[in-house]
Structure 1
Amino acid sequence: MYVRHAKPNTEKLEEKLAGLEHGKFAFAFNSGITAISAALMTVPPGGYIIMPCDMYGGTYPLVKRH
């Protein structure tokens, strides 16, 4: 069954990851680019991003261009 909202396995994974990292929350994504996109959306306009030049896929050129 395709489930769009309630994902018990994902929720358990996020709970366990948060506990391992001593955090309140954790987020699990279905792909690397989805995780990178979510992280980039947290940066405010005019904000700074520090990342290695050998970042996943085309992430570095995308960020450098904008």
Structure 2
Amino acid sequence: MTGPALVAGAANVMGADTVGIGLLLGVALLVDAYIGKRIVNRTPERLFVALVEVTLVIAGLHLIASF
């Protein structure tokens, strides 16, 4: 466990359910990072750049439309 987690656990601030959820989220993030890296490594650079740019444009338009 990390320092803050030990302190929170010692102070009875963080219960076992919170620790369990944190561990599950950590495992999910590791799996997602592994899968994402494999996808990025197999994607041609030009396609990857185009996908990122399209995603940014869509996010920007969504942000502008929300005002």
Larger RCO (CA within 8 A; separation ≥ 6): 1
TM-score normalised according to structure 2 size = 0.28
Q: Rg: which structure is higher?
A: 2
TM-score normalised according to structure 1 size = 0.28
